[in-house]
Structure 1
Amino acid sequence: MSNTAIRYLTMLRMVPRYPRTITTGELSQRLEEQGYSVTMRSIQRDLEKLSVEFPLMVDESSRPHQWSFDRETTMDIIPALDLPAALTFELAQAYLKPLLPPRALSHLKPHFDEAHRTLLRERNPLGQWPNHVRVINRGLGGQRPAIDADVLETVTEALLREYKCQLTYQARKWPEPEAITVHPLGLIFRDPNVYLIGTIDGREGIRQLVLHRATTGELLEEPVDRPEDFDLDFYIHSGAMGILKSDKPVYLKLRCDKPALNHLIESPLGFDQITTEIDEDTFEIAVTVGDTQDLRWWLTAQALHCDILEPVWLKEEIANTLQQGLARTRQTLVE
């Protein structure tokens, strides 16, 4: 392949999809960084020539001209999308569609469409995969809160570039929305919500911001002040996402029924879980978990199939919750 052809391919890869754009000056600078010394006039001629074969768009009303690819285009540049890659896109679409707003997904739509065409085109059992697979989320399946697409784009760009962002945010306990400056540290998708983890100027500690409560977002080109000891995985496993009741971990010991709770053997509650077979109907587990509200909800729901052996204070708390629930149910029956 000639050096010119390689330069053409390199340049095409630098042109973003609409609504993002790039100028000939920016292309010249980036090509220079790649070892190609080309004048802006030559780049302009190259783009005009390539636009005959590729879906390139130019905004001639601006100076300098702004170039981009058509929003709906798919690029048929080798390597072509193969079956495993097409299948991956199909599965990604199935998982992401319930989580992200339509405009956020629209950036991937051309790839999803191409993947679907590839699977239909190929005479291969994988081509029928979408007809045999469904994604079902656990829980009651209630409608997910809508997230403003501009807010999500602002937050994701701020995370990737490690910049601050400003959000108009309405916390549950705040009397009215406030403009806050956020230092984004991570994004967590926890059905049914999307959480921005970060710090807020003027407030202490790591915060969880539920994105559907933000109505506007603006990227601030100022570097994030990131705590040196912050680790997103450690933050999650500390129990912070389960509504912490205290910072102290809980050493939990349960006696569980088979087969109702066999999934605990396959999917341990924690890294240090120890499982002991008692008999053909029972097993015990010992594990360190976060002291969270989620833990209490789970223990309450599983009361029919497990006994809390330790700690005693948690056993008493769950028993009290169940007694109150039973009393309320009986009162309703009487009425």
Structure 2
Amino acid sequence: MPRVANQNNISDALIVITILKQIPRHWITASQIQQNLAELGMELSPRRLQRILESMRECDELQIDVDKTNRPYGYRRSVPDADLVIDNLPPTQSLLIRLFEEHMHYQLPAPISGSLRYLFDKASLSLKEQGATDKMNRWLKKVAFVSGCVPMMPPRILERIFNAVSEALYRDVMLHVKFENSRGEQNEADVSPLGLVQQEQRLYLVCQFAGYDNYRHLALHRISEARVLDFQAVRPEDFSLDKYISERHFNYSNGRRVRLILEFTSPETARNLSETPFNTTQKLQKLPDGAWRLEADMDDTVLLDGWIAGWREKAGIRKVEKVLIAEKA
């Protein structure tokens, strides 16, 4: 076995182990490995890292592949990291991992998603090994997610685009993007990524264009190129994604806050709304004539109007009133 990075030196051995943990089953460049190490507080020069990687690649037991067709070179492991080797994953855990993978696909940054790939694959394999008639294997077909909106097929997002965007967000660095706007015009810009928002089937990057202080939304399926830059992203100190969303930038709001007053006759709707109220301001009471009255402070949105229109007949809605509370400045 070749000598790897001064094996007799404990410090060097720890460096090799740390580097090994940064090499996933998908391709990663030396510069990306160096950045990951820097985030862990381990500073290595590019030249030293390259020497260590070359020695590690020559060690057959580590099973590291290198792609020299392009620069910078790509590295990957053909076996999973040792701390993720799981021979017997219990069926219940396999099911939870499979559901997590399905519903968190676009919420995980690419570096984390890639490092969990083996775990996802192992969960799928474990379920298949239980047999086609196994109860646990069939359970996945007995669980479903139903959206409250009109179903639509999700737009196609290129994997390399999602990986670049999530990596830039994860590392807090800038992106160079080429994209098409809603009018079909082609543009390109350097942007500071601030957040990723999934709204039903669409995925949006909240960002600031270089030289501007306003916030923009870029639909990922309209981005044709995304390149991670080595420049630190400019993130406003007062920016909070939760606060930004709460300010109604993603719910088709007209900027008004209203007190919604509904009167309806359906006891089933009354039960549903008592179990899942609109918010903590909601008040629901039964009227003397057997109907129900609801009051709640709400954002005046297209989604709210759609809910009222969709339930008007089934809920027996006989009165709709919106009393203006405030209007966004």
* Same-fold status (TM-score > 0.5): yes
Unaligned runs of 5+ in 2: 1-7
Q: How many residues were matched structurally?
A: 299
Q: Residue 121 of structure 2 corresponds to which residue in structure 1?
A: 113
Query: 5 Å matches for 1:246-261?
Result: 246=255, 248-256=256-264, 257-260=266-269
Unaligned runs of 5+ in 1: 315-335
TM-score by length of 1: 0.70
User: 2:65 aligned with 1:57, yes or no?
Assistant: yes
Q: Residue 189 of structure 2 corresponds to which residue in structure 1?
A: 180
SS of 2:263's equivalent in the other structure is strand
State the 1:222 CA deviation: 2.5
State the 1:90 CA deviation: 0.7
Q: Distance in 1 between matches of 2:169 and 2:149?
A: 29
Q: Distance in 2 between matches of 1:43 and 1:208?
A: 39
User: 2:199 aligned with 1:190, yes or no?
Assistant: yes
Query: 5 Å matches for 1:52-131?
Result: 52=61, 54-59=62-67, 67-70=75-78, 73-75=79-81, 77=83, 80=86, 82-83=89-90, 84-95=92-103, 107=114, 109-121=117-129, 126-131=136-141
Match for 2:232: what amino acid? P
Q: Distance in 2 between matches of 1:201 and 1:293?
A: 32
Q: Residue 274 of structure 1 corresponds to which residue in structure 2?
A: 283
State the 1:251 CA deviation: 1.9
State the 1:69 CA deviation: 1.0
Per-residue CA distance 1:300-328 (angstroms, 9 max, x = gap): 222222344532689xxxxxxxxxxxxxx
Task: Verify the 8 A CA contact 2:179 2:222 in the aligned structure 1.
Answer: yes
Residues 42 and 13 of structure 1, relative CA distance in 2, 3 Å threshold: closer
Q: Residue 221 of structure 1 corresponds to which residue in structure 2?
A: 230
Q: Residue 162 of structure 1 corresponds to which residue in structure 2?
A: 172
CA RMSD between the two structures: 4.3
Which residue, 280, 304, 321 being the options, matches 1:310? 321
State the 1:188 CA deviation: 0.9
Task: Verify the 8 A CA contact 2:259 2:323 in the aligned structure 1.
Answer: no
State the 1:269 CA deviation: 1.9
SS of 1:225's equivalent in the other structure is coil
User: 2:278 aligned with 1:264, yes or no?
Assistant: no
Per-residue CA distance 1:171-227 (angstroms, 9 max, x = gap): 22x462111332221111111211112223455632222222222222233233323
Residues 176 and 121 of structure 1, relative CA distance in 2, 3 Å threshold: closer
Per-residue CA distance 1:74-98 (angstroms, 9 max, x = gap): 445466374354223210233256x
Match for 1:113: what amino acid? D
Instruction: Identify, as 1 or 2, the structure richer in strand.
Output: 2
Task: Verify the 8 A CA contact 1:239 1:289 in the aligned structure 2.
Answer: no
Q: Distance in 1 between matches of 2:178 and 2:73?
A: 34
State the 1:117 CA deviation: 1.9
Identity of paired residues, percent?
22
Query: 5 Å matches for 1:14-29?
Result: 14-22=22-30
Which residue, 287, 296, 300 being the options, matches 1:291? 300
